């Protein structure tokens, strides 16, 4: 099978490429290499096309003759502030549109696997003891300034308890990156309906592991904490450290992509470990594995566009893709303390 991997020189894309080539697939990588200080090492068999998704000539060349597409390229993370909006929309919405148009013009109706994210849900699923399932309202700066981080019931004001989020939960993007991921899903599923292509969107939860980008405004929290520890500083944990997430190893995420490429199921599913932990748990586990002298510091800082609790239900991925995470939290974080970063 000839597979195009957009962003195939990046963090998750690179691990997908390694697994595809290891099993004998013919792989084409389209990557701008803008995030790399030097040309990354790819398997010798890979055809690398250096170009941006907004470069129509590069995209047309990349889609020629492919049987399947694994679309990983994106501008990720929350960014710095809303001033990043144009760059996110150009890269994620515009880049996806260019890719889909190129596929349309060559009448592609093969398998399309798209990298999405848990951020499409906004805040996760919540329950009030008195009123049952309720939607958490957008966070307000006065509450966060006062240290009131837990979402409250919009009807009675009581603190809410989180529950796992299924794929049919309402989409409620609460930052620019999240909005572009929702649009990427919508465009891709629309392409599938128009072309007959089988489209699968993988909603990644908090991915970590070897070759993760180092500390930048766009990096994941695990990378930011790891970079602080390497510099001899304590990880700075925002809010009170009680934010709940699902940390899933990049090896599991790459395997999920291959499972999705090999099936004809169409839809969106969570890619998660099924083992929720708080951000504080993660910081303490990573610090202990790295060096006990650098314990985390809880700062009370916050980002208004962040969310409090997002924990996935892994059931649909298990049913439709036969995907179950294999790397446990303690094992993965202990290894991540020494994993090479990009």
Residue 215 has a pLDDT of 61
How far is the C-alpha of 52 from the C-alpha of 13, rounded, in Å? 15
Which tokens in the block code for residue 184?
Answer: 């990427």
- pLDDT tens-digit readout, 272-304: 999 999 999 999 999 998 865 668 999 999 988
* pLDDT score for 41: 81
Task: Could you please state the CATH topology (level 3) that the domain comprising 2-124+165-337 is classified under.
Answer: Rossmann fold (3.40.50)
Q: Please, what are the averages of pLDDT over each run of 10 residues along the chain (342 residues)?
A: 96 97 97 81 93 94 98 82 89 97 97 96 92 91 95 93 94 91 98 98 95 70 88 92 95 98 96 95 91 82 88 95 96 92 82
What does R_g of the chain's alpha carbons equal in angstroms?
A: 20
Predicted local confidence at residue 219, as pLDDT: 57
For residue range 27-54, list pLDDT tens digits in order: 999 999 887 777 788 998 999 999 999 9
Two tokens, residue 43:
């398997």
Give the pLDDT score at 76.
Answer: 81
Q: Residue 217: what pLDDT?
A: 52
Give the residues across from 268 on adjacent strands. 201
- pLDDT, residue 216, reads 58
Q: What is the pLDDT of residue 124?
A: 87
Supply 255's token pair. 């395997």
- The confidence score (pLDDT) of residue 280 equals 95
CA dihedral 276, 281, 282, 284 (to 10 degrees): -160
pLDDT of residue 78: 64
Distances (CA, A) of 234 to 41, 42, 135, 253: 32, 34, 35, 28
């Amino acid at each position: 099978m000839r597979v195009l991997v957009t962003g195939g020189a990046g963090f998750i894309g690179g691990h997908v490429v390694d697994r595809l080539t290891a099993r004998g697939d013919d792989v084409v990588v389209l990557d701008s290499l803008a995030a790399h200080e030097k040309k990354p090492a790819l398997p010798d068999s890979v055809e690398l096309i250096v170009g941006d998704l907004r470069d129509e000539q590069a995209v047309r060349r990349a889609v020629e003759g492919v049987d399947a597409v694994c679309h990983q390229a994106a501008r990720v993370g929350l960014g710095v502030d809303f001033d990043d909006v144009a760059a996110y929309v150009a890269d994620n919405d515009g880049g996806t549109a260019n890719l889909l148009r190129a596929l349309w013009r060559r009448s592609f109706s093969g398998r399309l696997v798209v990298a999405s994210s848990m951020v499409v849900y906004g805040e996760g699923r919540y329950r009030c003891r008195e009123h049952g399932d309720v939607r958490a309202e957008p966070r307000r700066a006065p509450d966060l300034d006062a240290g009131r981080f837990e979402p409250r019931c919009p009807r009675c004001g009581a603190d809410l308890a989180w529950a796992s989020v299924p794929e049919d939960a309402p989409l409620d993007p609460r930052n620019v990156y999240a909005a572009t991921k929702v649009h990427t899903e919508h465009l891709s599923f629309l392409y599938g309906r128009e072309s007959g292509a089988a489209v699968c969107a993988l909603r990644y939860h908090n991915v970590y592991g070897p070759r993760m980008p180092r500390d930048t405004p766009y990096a994941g929290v695990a990378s930011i904490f790891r970079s602080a520890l390497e510099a001899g500083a304590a990880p700075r944990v925002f809010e009170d450290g009680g934010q709940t997430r699902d940390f899933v190893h990049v090896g599991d995420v790459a395997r999920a992509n291959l499972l999705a490429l090999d099936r004809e199921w169409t839809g969106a599913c969570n890619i998660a470990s099924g083992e929720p932990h708080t951000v504080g748990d993660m910081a303490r586990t990573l610090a202990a594995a790295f060096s006990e002298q650098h314990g985390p510091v809880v700062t009370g800082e916050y980002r208004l566009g962040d969310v409090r609790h997002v924990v996935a239900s892994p059931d649909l991925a298990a049913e439709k893709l036969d995907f179950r995470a294999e790397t446990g939290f303690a094992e993965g974080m202990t290894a991540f303390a020494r994993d090479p970063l990009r």
